[in-house]
Structures are given as C-alpha cells and as structure tokens.
Structure 1
C-alpha cells in the first residue's frame, strides 16, 4: 500500500501555476483571481483584511488558514464550534485554531450568511465514491498545491470553512446537499488576528448541487487591504 503523505497531492492542476507571488505576499488593493477548480494561497499580515468575492453567486470556496509562523497551528472547525457554541460563524465572530488562538475575525458578509463548517474538503477518494474512474480536481489537492506553489507545506488537510456552501441540518439531525443561496457579487471579509496563510479553493464539485443546480464550477476573486 502506498504511504499516505498529508502534504502530497494525489494529482495536479493549474493551482501549481496560480500563485500570486513566490511567497504568497500580495500587492495590497490588487484584485486577484482564484481560477475555477483551483486553489490559491495568500499571506496576510496581522491587521490586514481579506475580501473574497463570489462573482457568479453559486461558487463555493473551501477556505483554510494556517499560522504563518507555525503551520502546525491552523483554523479548526471543531474548535470554532466550541468557541462560538455555533456551527454558523457570523460577522464579529473570531475563528480560532486547533490551539484555540484567534486567527481571523469575520468583519463583513454581504450574503445571507449561509456557510458550512461541517463537511470535509472533497478529495480523490470522495470522487471515486461518486463514480469517477479518472482523477478529478478536488479541494484537498488544491490546498496542497496552493501551499507548495508559495514554498510552504500543508501539514494536514483540516476541515475547511466552506464559504457559501449550503448544507441544511434537518430536524432529525441529517444533512442535505442544497444549492447556495448567495447572489452574484456577494463578498465576505476577514481580518487577520495574526500573520496567516489563507488558502482558497474554488471547489470543483460538479456532481452534487454544491455549486448550484447546474454544477458548473467558476472562479473566485479576492483582494487584501491594510486594515
């Protein structure tokens, strides 16, 4: 059996060529694109803000953050649940790490606020379960490639903050796949509480209705500002 290495992608796509710079440091106020089906990493200094835009309204963004000084510390959804006593972060909420330190604060959200914190990132095995015989682009590999592209390594693939992903929790406790309720041009903004690598994946899911009923992955946009 092949050894599992968390930082090693199972396959490759344009994420390896989509880095905004060699070290992920952005030009402030410059608008960047996360290509459809790909991932991009950006380094945020403490106090900087990151605004992510959903041009089509239906595109889900798998989103992660790692402490730039020690990537073994990363945004952890189970710890966020404990800290907030909620599975739905809102404006003003801090997003904490696996060491319970605040990494980011949600400071703006133009959408209805429907995001997911329960579902793991799609990966190669997930698409095999969905019937794909060939390699399928996936968010886990997009994370790994995006970090490699800026000279970093993702030590693990944490459960992401799935922006604009709509997974209703049913009364009996079940979950349901549903199309996003966000609209074209919706944005969400985070403030960095410490220097972090933020990673965005334009989710390539085209089998379930995660990216809308048409299942057509599209690009995302982002900009970093000082304060």
Structure 2
C-alpha cells in the first residue's frame, strides 16, 4: 500500500510520531529546500537527537547511510537508512530564529525554524524543553582546510529523499526553512514546501 504523503508547508513546520522500527521518508520535493529536522524520545522530551553527540560518535560532520544518529544520552534514536542525495547535510548550524534575522537586517518578525519547531510540537500537544541544534537536511555548509565555513546552495535534486528509521519510540519534527536572505535554499532565495511519508517496519 502506498504510504500517505504529508506536506511540510513552505516556511512552516510539521511533526509526527514514530514507533520503534517505523521510518519516515523526508522528500526534497523541489530539490533545493533545507529541512531542519529534530527527534525527541517519546518517553522523555529532554532526550533528543544531538548534533554535538553525533559528530564525535561518527568522527565526521556529514552523516551517511547506515549511520546511527544518537541522543544527548548517546543512545541511537534514528538510523539514516537511505539517502538518494549527494549526502551533504549540515550538523554545525543552529536553527534560525528571530534574533538571527535581526542580525541579518530584518526589522520585523521573520518566520524561523525555532518557532516552527515549537508550533509543530504544539500540534501534537507537546512542548520541547529547548530548541536543540537540528540535523539540517540538504543544507550545504562547505568547510575549508582552515575551518572557515560558507553558505552553499544545496547539492540535492528534485525528489531526493532520506529514510530515517526509529530506534526508539520518538517524535520527529521538521521545518521547511524560511531562510530567504542567504542562498541555503538555492540561488532563487525562495523557500518551498517539502513532503514526508511514514513507512512501516523494515
């Protein structure tokens, strides 16, 4: 049976519950949309997927197919089961917030991934104790030999997707990043919707 496809609206967030063994397929529908992604333990929202714990566990900054993505208690919460893109996903950059857009010159409120996370969780009746640093799917942050970073455009193409399989009962939240000042969502500076599907046990 074909799984139901859900929309992550442009500039907005969505969240979904996963039982251990289930998976979520997150789809870069138009090819250049960054999707900030979080995962929280269903039993305790203070345990969450943690980039600062994933990096030393993997020994690199780019996760690959087959990798376990661990929590702040160093337990696997998701496994990156499949990735059809070139595999450039960011683990360094914090979720954008209204303060960030103020630094970029905005004088009025700007949609942002931090608020999208909290709004998405509220739709499920949940509250996060903080906004952890997300796994920024398809966000291309080149790092040179001197440690300098840059704002690259995504290397993904339309229809690329990742499959993340739950290692524990968890909640996955996603934000179609609203960044329209820097080119992280492509040179057009035009955030778009993305999609996701829940797929059964493998």
**Structures share a fold, TM > 0.5?**
yes
SS in 2 for 1:143: helix
Counterpart position of 2:143: 169
Provide, for residues 122-164 of structure 1, a one-character-per-residue CA deviation record: whole Å limited to 9, x for no partner. Answer: 0000000000011000000000111111100011100100000
RCO higher in structure (CA 8 A, sep ≥6): 2
CA distance in 1 between partners of 2:88 and 2:141 (Å): 9
163, 171, 174: which one aligns with 1:189: 163
State how far apart, in whole Å, the 1-side matches of 2:4 and 2:169 are: 19
The equivalent residue for 1:31 is 5
Partner of 2:113: 139
Please name the residue that 2:42 is paired with. 68
- Aligned partner of 1:156 in structure 2 is 130
Distance 2:75 2:3 in 1: 27
Deviations 1:26-75 (A, max 9, x none): xx921100000000010000000100111110000000000011000000
**SS where residue 114 of structure 2 aligns?**
helix
Of 56, 63, 79 in structure 2, the residue corresponding to residue 89 of structure 1 is 63
TM-score scaled by length of structure 2 = 0.98
Aligned residues between the structures:
200
What's the RMSD between the two structures over aligned residues?
A: 0.8
Runs of at least 5 residues in structure 2 that lack an aligned partner in the other structure:
none
- Three-state SS of the structure 1 residue aligned to 2:117 is helix
